[in-house]
Amino acid sequence: MKPIKAGIVGTGFSAIAHIEALRRVPGTLVWGIAGRERAKSEQVAADMGIPRVYDDYMAMIDDPEIEVIHNCTPNALHYEINKQALLAGKHILSEKPLAVTSQESQELAELAEQVNVRSGVCFNYRHYPMVSEAREFLRQQENGDVFHVQGSYLQDWLLYESDYSWRLDPELNGPSRAMADIGSHWCDTVQHVLGKRIVEVCADLKTAHMHRQRPLVQSATFESAEGECEEVAVSSEDYGSVLIRFEDGVQGVFSVSQVAAGRKNRLVFEIAAGQDEVAWDQERPNELWVGRRGQANEVVLKDPETLSKRSARLAHYPGGHQEGWPDGLKNLCGDFYAHVREPKHNRSYATFAQGHQLMLLIEAILCSHEDRRWVTLLKE
């Protein structure tokens, strides 16, 4: 099998995660890297054994040997890089969000429909075995319709006023932070599990620290800053809660926070459906809780011998061998490259059209908070 050659745009946390994931996907080869600073790109290439370093992303896109582009850059760069990759006929897997405005994401979604390439957005939580099992459980259970949905996505990496990241800069990140960064993950995961879209929102957002200490020397996401700092104003939200309604009338609520002490990366959803309730916690990724009234609750463990066929394909080790975040990203990449290799592959990754819908959702949340009212999503 001839390997598919990939190029990575970016040198930060997401870029390294993509490189490591691709090393575990058969038939793929990380062939090149392009970052903001060539010296940093050369260092990553040397550390990770990547053959080629490019001066910029256009040089990578123009290389006929590169077949797939991985866009692992700050949010404000997503639109232009994604657009240029599509125009060049390159397959593109973009970190989320797809863009920073719905006008940009709509253009990308429409362009993706016009060109003969694969285009996906990195919403990786839908690729966990037990998330898939929750989806299969709800499809097969015969106890009734979904009543309601609830959940949260909590982190603490921006708890202190001295915590800083490029994500706090609206010029690099866009107008929304916690909702666009982690709220979008929660929404995509739940929409995927239910097979339904959120169509109305009522949001209440809050900024915990109106000012933060920005280091004069930039640090990577999740890294502690050191050295001299300057005080800067913060305009994006640290946390928030959103009432939601799905297209079939199902109601729900979720909260996100990046200032929740002790919570590192806790995406949780609970879905009440007839006589059963299913719940999943990303910090306990190999378990699916099933709640019942009048009989014992159940914890379903990740085991490819007992999971549904679809979910078992996402579990690569026997029961008792734990799999988590890196494995979900590997599954996403495997799904995407299977579609690159075989156009008839039944993909499950998020498309540019779905990335656009989530951009509309984030903008509706911001509008709802600003206007203090329910907002119906514009139809894409």
Q: Mark whether 115 and 140 lie in a shared domain.
A: no
Per-residue pLDDT at 241: 98
Domain, as residue range, for 63? 4-124
Residue 379 covered by a domain: no
Q: Mark whether 147 and 45 lie in a shared domain.
A: no
The low-confidence residues of the chain, meaning pLDDT below 50, are none
Q: Mark whether 36 and 100 lie in a shared domain.
A: yes
Select from 308, 194, 302 the least CA-distant residue to 246: 194
Q: Which residues, 6+ apart, have CB-to-CB distance to 294 below 8 Å?
A: none
Q: Which residues, 6+ apart, have CB-to-CB distance to 292 below 8 Å?
A: 275, 276, 277, 298
Domain boundary among 81, 109, 124: 124
What's the rounded Cα separation, in Å, for the pair 202 and 378?
14
Task: With beta carbons less than 8 A apart as the criterion, state whether 96 and 184 touch.
Answer: yes
Strand partners, 29: 5
Residue 329 covered by a domain: no
Q: Mark whether 82 and 197 lie in a shared domain.
A: no
Task: With beta carbons less than 8 A apart as the criterion, state whether 348 and 127 touch.
Answer: yes
CATH assignment of the domain containing 252 = 3.30.360.10
| Alpha carbon 83 to chain centroid, angstroms | 19
pTM above 0.85, yes or no: yes
Task: With beta carbons less than 8 A apart as the criterion, state whether 6 and 31 touch.
Answer: yes
- What tens digit of pLDDT does each residue of 209-219 get? 999 999 987 66
Select from 55, 54, 61, 66 the least CA-distant residue to 80: 61
Q: Mark whether 304 and 163 lie in a shared domain.
A: yes
Domains of the chain: total: 2
Residue 246 covered by a domain: yes
Q: Which residues, 6+ apart, have CB-to-CB distance to 173 below 8 Å?
A: 74, 75, 76, 100, 166, 167, 180, 181, 236
Select from 265, 268, 296, 350 the least CA-distant residue to 94: 350
Q: Mark whether 271 and 303 lie in a shared domain.
A: yes
Token pair belonging to 42: 């050369």
Residue 313 covered by a domain: yes
- What tens digit of pLDDT does each residue of 110-143 get? 999 999 999 999 999 999 999 999 999 998 866 5
DSSP annotation of 373 reads: S
Domain boundary among 94, 124, 154: 124
CATH assignment of the domain containing 63 = 3.40.50.720
Per-residue pLDDT at 145: 87
Per-residue pLDDT at 274: 86
Q: Mark whether 236 and 152 lie in a shared domain.
A: yes
Residue 294 covered by a domain: yes
Residue 334 covered by a domain: no
What single letter denotes the amino acid at residue 158? L
Domain boundary among 104, 124, 144: 124
Q: Mark whether 252 and 306 lie in a shared domain.
A: yes
Q: Mark whether 114 and 146 lie in a shared domain.
A: no
Task: With beta carbons less than 8 A apart as the criterion, state whether 6 and 30 touch.
Answer: yes
Residue 326 covered by a domain: no
Residue 343 covered by a domain: no
Q: Mark whether 223 and 366 lie in a shared domain.
A: yes
What's the rounded Cα separation, in Å, for the pair 316 and 327?
9
Per-residue pLDDT at 203: 98
Q: Mark whether 150 and 200 lie in a shared domain.
A: yes
Q: Mark whether 200 and 102 lie in a shared domain.
A: no
